[in-house]
């Protein structure tokens, strides 16, 4: 039944695509792998909105000029931000949520009344919600997070706010990792430490890097050190089942995929873009 409703909503969106359609972009480099154009457009249709999401492949050096250009169009209401632009777009916002300001990163931007952009970040909230959907309550658990980029920063913040007993963060970029660890430590809610690719001893093991998108990629962490009592999650949506998730399932681990996260993040982004 849901597939039928989704197709009906998508057909309705196509029928109403016209000069009054409100435009939202998703910007990244690369961009071909993202699912947001169809998924968020479909969500707009389900809410009876005449709106569409359009992908934009923009290099980092061109980002500021691109944003200035699209900002001139009066029918552009929102921008979804993906790698590698989440930190840079935060700096380009006229205002942000407290969460985005703390993390210095955004994944969604909507227009302010003066035409500037207001940014927020929903990767962490959506990821933790998807964890709970898949039977993992982070409260009181020890977590290892690999990746301190835009999505990783948001997930780390959400885990700390959700009450993990401890969080270790690993990232090959030592400066980025240290910056995130130090900022999260100021919250005083849980010990936040520098981690490694070794997941032994953790209850929750999460990949927030793009490692696993390409067939030749190595594992983002030491899968031989996983055990069946661990919960393993990944942010990658393509492929649907990454080598990390496949290996974890073979060991008997409970898991969640990037698609699980995307569904939750999508709903939060649409609420935000529509002014909720």
- Give pLDDT tens digits for 137-191: 999 999 999 999 989 999 999 999 999 999 999 999 999 999 999 999 999 999 9
Is residue 194 within a helix (H) or strand (E), and if so which, with residue range?
strand 192-194
What is the arithmetic mean of pLDDT over 104-123? 96
> To which residue do tokens 């923009």 refer?
58
Please give the Cα distance from 255 to 253 (Å, whole number). 6
pLDDT of residue 13: 47
pLDDT of residue 100: 96
Residue 85 makes CB contacts below 8 A (sequence gap 6+) with 27, 28, 29, 58, 60, 63
Of 44, 37, 4, give the one whose Cα is nearest residue 21.
Answer: 44
CA distance 9 to 47: 9
What residues act catalytically? 86
Question: What is d(CA 98, CA 44) in angstroms, rounded to the nearest whole number?
Answer: 26
Residue 1 has pLDDT above 60, yes or no: no
CA distance 204 to 220: 15
Question: What mean pLDDT do residues 59-74 have?
Answer: 98
Token code pair at residue 109:
């931007």
Classify residue 210 by its DSSP letter. S
Q: What is the pLDDT of residue 17?
A: 87
pTM, full prediction: 0.86
Question: Given a cut of 90, is residue 65 above it in pLDDT?
Answer: yes
Task: Please give the distance of CA 54 from its chain centroid, rounded to a whole number.
Answer: 18
Tell me: pLDDT of 7 over 60: no
């Amino acid at each position: 039944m849901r597939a039928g409703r989704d197709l009906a909503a998508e057909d309705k969106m196509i029928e109403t695509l016209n000069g009054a359609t409100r435009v939202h972009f998703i910007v990244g480099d690369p961009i071909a792998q993202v699912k947001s154009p169809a998924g968020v457009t479909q969500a707009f249709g389900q809410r009876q909105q005449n709106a569409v999401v359009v992908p934009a492949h923009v290099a980092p050096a061109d980002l500021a000029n691109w944003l200035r250009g699209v900002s001139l169009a009066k029918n552009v209401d929102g921008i979804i931000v993906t790698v590698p632009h989440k930190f840079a777009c935060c700096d380009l916002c006229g205002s942000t949520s407290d969460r985005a300001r703390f993390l210095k990163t955004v994944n969604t931007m909507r227009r302010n009344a003066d035409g500037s952009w207001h940014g927020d970040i929903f990767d962490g909230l959506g990821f933790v919600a998807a964890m709970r959907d898949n039977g993992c309550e982070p409260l009181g658990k020890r977590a290892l997070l690999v990746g301190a980029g835009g999505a990783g920063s948001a997930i780390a913040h959400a885990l700390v706010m959700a009450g993990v007993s401890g969080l270790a963060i690993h990232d090959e970029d030592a400066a980025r990792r240290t910056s995130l660890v130090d900022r999260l430590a100021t919250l005083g809610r849980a010990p936040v430490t520098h981690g490694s690719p070794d997941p032994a001893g953790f209850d929750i093991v999460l990949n927030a890097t793009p490692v696993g998108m390409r067939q030749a990629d190595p594992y983002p962490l030491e899968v031989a050190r996983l055990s069946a009592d661990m919960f393993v999650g990944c942010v990658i949506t393509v492929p649907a089942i990454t080598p990390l998730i496949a290996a974890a399932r073979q060991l008997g681990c409970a898991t969640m995929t990037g698609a699980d996260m995307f569904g939750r993040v999508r709903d939060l982004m649409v609420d935000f873009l529509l002014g909720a």
